[in-house]
């Protein structure tokens, strides 16, 4: 084997191997630890002779170029092997057809990581009998079928099965795994009901992700969870019409995503009084109503907030100065947005207030947000001229369907970073703007431009139209 460039991370350096794995490894007496992660081979298969290293307790071939099937010969290692990591390769076919074909003498696996491969087939039922197993990661593969009964895997702490093609319901045996801390079955094709039984003994659970499935969450109204979650993701699950009452006893949550969950309720007052500090809050695509004036009380450092597509109302709330992302689009927020000037942090990079009934002139404090790359103020009732501080070059700018007038500020006319602009300059356009003067210089830089135009005057009006409807594409400008 040969070595190549040196990698460094966190003060630690290593040099990946390249070439071929020589069979001389079998001559190493009592080899117990073999780490060939980041092996730069030539897209070869895992050598079968590895199966003769029967004293191995640790085997790591992650982030390498291995492809093809996992050889049955690795089954010879299952009596001593505690950790196997074959993640981030190009392994295909059925999952360990021979490796889990054990009978009476169960292996002593503690950690199995086969994530990010191309493995197919069903999860072996024998996995549920591994009483010593602590970590199982089969995420980002093409596994199908149901999750096997896990009632005997009582030592398991982390279970990652996301990003597969698993179907059927989630086994209630999950609820007996009293040491389970992390459960991630997101992005599968699973169905069925999630009930109290699924969480019966999960007192140590702090990370739960069942999102992007077709689960119906049916919990007893007075149910009190045995756990204190830090991360909760239930996006695209059916949580029922009522805002989840059991959240009122969750005091550690920092990441909450219950978007697209068919909730149709007034947000509970107790939610704003929770002793939590959210770094991420996503309640989007529901029918949650009420005001959000106390929003900042539940936000932590550098938060991202997504409340889009709800009937929230009232004024835009005061928010932390270090907010990163704010999406309040497609709601019923009204009034002016002058209180946005209190958010002067340099991490603010995404603002979407579109499709509300906001009004008044824009505040003149946009110079504070030099990192703000996406601005969408479209489909409101904003009026007046665009303030001079609005001229920094965002990547995306939407201001259509408002009542802006006058000329664009000089900095915006000379911008170089604008990648996407949709600005209505037509006075007669319904609820359109009445902006006059020159086109911004950045509009002449669109690479997707298929038409020619003059940037001298806009007396007849110009309308920016999309070249491609996908998010982040560039726009051309056509003359009416």
Q: What is the pTM of this model?
A: 0.85
DSSP 63: S
Look at residues 149, 103, 111, 109 and name the one whose alpha carbon lies nearest to residue 128: 149
In a domain, 385, yes or no: yes
411 occurs within a structural domain: yes
Query: Is residue 353 one of the residues assigned to a domain?
Result: yes
Quote the CA–CA distance of 288 and 299 in Å, as a whole number.
19
Specify the pLDDT at position 28.
73
- Contact by Cβ (8 Å): 64, 42: no
Which pLDDT score, from 0 to 100, does residue 43 have? 59
- Residue 175 counted as domain residue: no
- Is residue 358 situated within a structural domain? yes
370 falls within a domain: yes
- pLDDT reported for residue 11: 41
pLDDT per residue rounded down to tens, the chain (480 residues): 444 343 333 443 344 454 566 566 766 768 899 998 887 665 588 888 888 888 999 999 999 888 988 888 888 887 889 999 999 999 987 765 566 665 555 678 899 999 999 999 999 888 888 899 999 999 999 999 999 999 899 999 999 999 999 999 999 999 999 999 999 999 999 999 999 999 999 999 999 999 999 999 999 989 999 999 999 999 999 999 999 999 999 999 999 999 999 999 999 999 999 999 999 999 999 999 999 989 999 999 999 999 999 999 999 998 888 999 999 999 999 999 988 888 767 889 999 999 999 999 999 988 888 888 889 999 999 999 988 887 666 778 888 899 999 888 877 776 655 555 555 444 434 457 888 777 666 555 544 333 333 333 333 333 333 333 332 333 333 323
Tell me if 282 is assigned to some domain. Answer: yes
CA gap 57, 82 in Å, rounded: 5
CB 193 within 8 A of CB 237: no
Q: Domain containing 398: what range?
A: 264-446
Lookup: tokens for 120: 């197919």
* Residue (of 124, 129, 184) closest to 154 by Cα position: 129
Burial 67-106 (b: 16+ CB within 10 A, else e): bebbbebbbbbbeebbbbbbbbbebeeebbebbbebeeeb
Which backbone phi and psi does 279 adopt, to 5 degrees? Answer: -90, -20
289 bridge partner residues: 266
pLDDT at 132: 92
Establish if 57 belongs to a structural domain.
no
Angle at CA of residue 139, ends 153 and 72, nearest 5°? 70
Which CATH number covers residue 349?
A: 3.80.10.10
413 membership: H or E segment, kind and range: helix 410-413
> Given CA atoms 189, 195, 197, 200 in this order, what sign does their dihedral have?
positive
- Total domains in the fold of the chain: 1
Among 214, 256, 222, 271, CA closest to 239: 214
């Amino acid at each position: 084997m040969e070595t190549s460039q040196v990698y460094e991370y966190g003060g630690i350096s290593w040099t990946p191997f390249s070439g071929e794995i020589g069979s001389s490894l079998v001559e190493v007496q009592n080899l117990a630890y073999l780490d060939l992660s980041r092996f730069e081979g030539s897209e070869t298969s895992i050598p079968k002779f590895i199966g003769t290293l029967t004293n191995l307790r640790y085997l790591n071939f992650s982030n390498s170029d291995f492809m093809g099937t996992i050889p049955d010969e690795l089954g010879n290692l299952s009596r001593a092997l505690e950790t196997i990591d074959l993640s981030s390769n190009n392994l295909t076919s059925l999952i360990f057809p021979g490796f889990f074909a054990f009978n009476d003498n169960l292996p002593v696996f503690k950690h199995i990581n086969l994530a990010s491969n191309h493995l197919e087939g069903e999860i072996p039922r024998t996995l549920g009998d591994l009483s010593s197993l602590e970590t199982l990661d089969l995420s980002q593969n093409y596994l199908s079928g149901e999750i096997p009964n896990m009632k005997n895997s009582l030592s398991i702490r982390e279970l990652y099965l996301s990003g597969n093609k698993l179907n059927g319901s989630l086994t209630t045996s999950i609820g007996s795994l009293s040491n389970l801390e992390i459960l991630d079955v997101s992005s599968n094709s699973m169905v069925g009901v999630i009930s109290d039984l699924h969480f019966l003994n999960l007192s140590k659970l702090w990370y739960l992700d069942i999102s992007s499935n077709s689960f119906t969450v049916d919990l007893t109204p007075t149910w009190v969870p045995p756990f204190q979650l830090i991360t909760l993701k239930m996006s695209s699950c059916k949580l029922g019409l009522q805002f989840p009452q059991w959240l009122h006893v969750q005091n550690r949550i920092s990441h909450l995503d219950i978007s697209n969950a068919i909730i149709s309720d007034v947000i509970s007052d107790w939610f704003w009084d929770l002793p939590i500090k959210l770094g991420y809050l996503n309640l989007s695509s529901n029918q949650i109503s009420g005001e959000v004036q106390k929003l900042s009380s539940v936000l932590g450092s550098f938060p991202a907030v997504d409340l889009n597509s709800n009937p929230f109302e009232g004024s835009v709330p005061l928010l932390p100065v270090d907010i990163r992302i704010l999406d309040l689009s497609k709601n019923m927020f009204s009034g002016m947005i002058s209180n946005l000037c209190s958010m002067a942090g340099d991490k603010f990079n995404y603002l979407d207030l579109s499709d509300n009934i906001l009004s008044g002139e824009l505040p003149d404090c946009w110079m504070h947000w030099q990192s703000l790359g996406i601005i969408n103020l479209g489909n409101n009732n904003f009026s007046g001229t665009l303030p001079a501080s609005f001229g920094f070059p965002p990547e995306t700018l939407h201001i259509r369907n408002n009542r802006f007038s006058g000329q664009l500020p000089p900095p915006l006319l000379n911008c170089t970073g604008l990648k996407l602009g949709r600005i209505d300059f037509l006075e007669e356009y319904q609820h359109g703007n009445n902006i006059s003067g020159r086109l911004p210089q950045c509009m002449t830089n669109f690479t997707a431009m298929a038409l020619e135009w003059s940037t001298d005057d806009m007396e007849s009006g110009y309308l920016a139209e999309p070249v491609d409807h996908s998010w982040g594409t560039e726009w051309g400008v056509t003359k009416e």
